[in-house]
Amino acid sequence: MSPMFVPGPMDVDPEVMDAQTIPMLPHRSKEFETIFHRAEGKARPLFGTQNRVFISASSGTGLQEAAVRNFAQSSVLACVNGAFSERWLEVAKSNGKSIDTVEAEWGQPIRPEDVAAALRQKPYEVLTIVHNETSTGLQNPVDAIAAAARGVSPDTLICVDAVSSLGGAPIEMDAWGLDFVLTSSQKALALPPGLALGATSDRALERAASVENRGWYFDLVRLEKHRLKNSTPATPATSLINALDLQLDRILAEGLENRFARYQSMATRVHEWALSHGFGLFAAEGYRSRTVSTVENLPDIDVAALNAFLLERGMRIANGYGTLKNKTFRIAHMGELTLADVNTLLAAIEEFMGK
């Protein structure tokens, strides 16, 4: 198997892949409802919540849409400092919401005081923030931002995209006062793409009940009614949920603290290596991601040629995202990857550079 150092989809453990091939069960059967219930319960500790976790047959972007449709009749304050927070802004706009932004330069964190200042001007219904910007390799200080937001505007619902961090970095939804936290299956959870998980607070669900035009597929009020019966309104992705059920066992057996430490050791190794080999790191110091590093290509190596070289050795990294293409490249260190895998990759990059 060739280890993928691209930030999703990550490699999937063979046993977890196999879990998708067990025979189909009707989704409205006791047997499947038991699996659904079990998986939902096991997902909660990853979010740091006692609340419900919706399991959606969609990718994470579907739940970005769910957040703005369910929680805001009109006003959204979007924190924007990378490609995926820009996407969430576009999702909100395309759903007809009225939006203002708190921005930071790409590679710089959103500042809690800027969020507080914007909320002092207007008590927006929803605040959107991306925890881990996969484009820039930056982790926003969501706990401090949430505290600042709650201090100024306690009724604003705080919605967090943790697509590339959940299961890879600590997230304490209940302790930090978050209302909605969404993730995708194909990143730190190391599952195939196709599932999104969204943990939701009680007060967010209460708010949703009063918002008009929530749509149908991502209507969280409807999803909750079914979740209480361990089910979904439409057909769930049953094979992926079988894989999720097993993968959550594996993640909890590793232990979340051990998993976070494994990711941190890989992140630290990549950061130190980059800085000692003439590269830079795109994200500001103190805010660098545990799950993906965006390396500044200061020596101007040919990223496509590097990837071709790596592919011959059964590995693959990601070029920079959008306008950062070739100016940066990205090395993911999440999922099933280990420090030994990272060392093999870095040795191969050095070999390429020495050629």
User: Whole-angstrom Cα distance, residue 110 to residue 124?
Assistant: 17
- CA-to-CA distance for 184 and 195, rounded, in angstroms? 6
Helix, strand or coil, per DSSP, at residue 334:
coil
Cα separation, 79 vs 146, whole angstroms: 12
Q: Give me the long-range contacts of 110-118 (CB less than 8 A, separation at least 24).
A: 110/79, 110/81, 110/140, 110/141, 110/145, 112/141, 112/144, 112/145, 112/147, 112/148, 112/149, 113/148, 115/77, 115/79, 115/145, 115/148, 115/149, 116/148, 116/149, 116/151, 116/152, 118/77
Which residue from 9, 17, 25, 61 is in contact with ligand PLP, where contact means CB under 6 A? 61
Q: Residue 131 CB, nearest distance to ligand PLP (Å)?
A: 8
Report in angstroms how near the CB of residue 6 gets to ligand PLP at its nearest. Answer: 10
Nearer to ligand PLP, 116 or 267 (CB): 267
In the chain the first and final C-alpha atoms are separated, in Å, by: 25
DSSP 8-state class, residue 281: E
**Under the criterion CB under 6 A, does residue 130 sit at the interface with ligand PLP?**
yes
**Of 60 and 109, CB closest to ligand PLP:** 60
Which letter does DSSP use for residue 321 in this model?
Answer: P
Closest to ligand PLP by CB, 82 vs 112, is: 82
- Report the residue from 60, 167, 198, 335 that binds ligand PLP according to the rule CB under 6 A: 60
Q: Where are the beta strands (DSSP E) in 123-162?
A: 126-130, 132-133, 138-139, 157-161
48 contributes a contact to ligand PLP by CB under 6 A: no
Q: Decide: is 331 part of the binding site for ligand PLP (CB under 6 A).
A: no
Residue 333: strand, helix, or coil: coil
Site for ligand PLP in 139-168 (CB under 6 A): 161, 163-164
Of 134, 156, 247, 297, the one binding ligand PLP by CB under 6 A: 134
Query: Cβ of residue 45: shortest distance to ligand PLP, in angstroms?
Result: 21
- Compute the least distance from the CB of residue 216 to ligand PLP, in Å: 19
- Among 8, 112, 192, 236, the residue binding ligand PLP under the rule CB under 6 A is 8
Judged by CB under 6 A, which stretch of 71-79, 119-127, 129-137, 217-225 contacts ligand PLP?
Answer: 129-137
Interaction mask 183-202, ligand PLP, x per CB under 6 A? -x------------------
10 counts as binding ligand PLP under rule CB under 6 A: no
For residue 295, the SS3 value is strand
Quick check: 59 binds ligand PLP (CB under 6 A)? yes
Instruction: In whole angstroms, give the CA distance from residue 103 to residue 85.
Output: 10
Rounded distance between C-alpha atoms, residue 134 and residue 109, angstroms: 13
Q: Which residues bind ligand PLP (CB under 6 A)?
A: 8, 59-61, 84, 130, 132, 134, 161, 163-164, 184
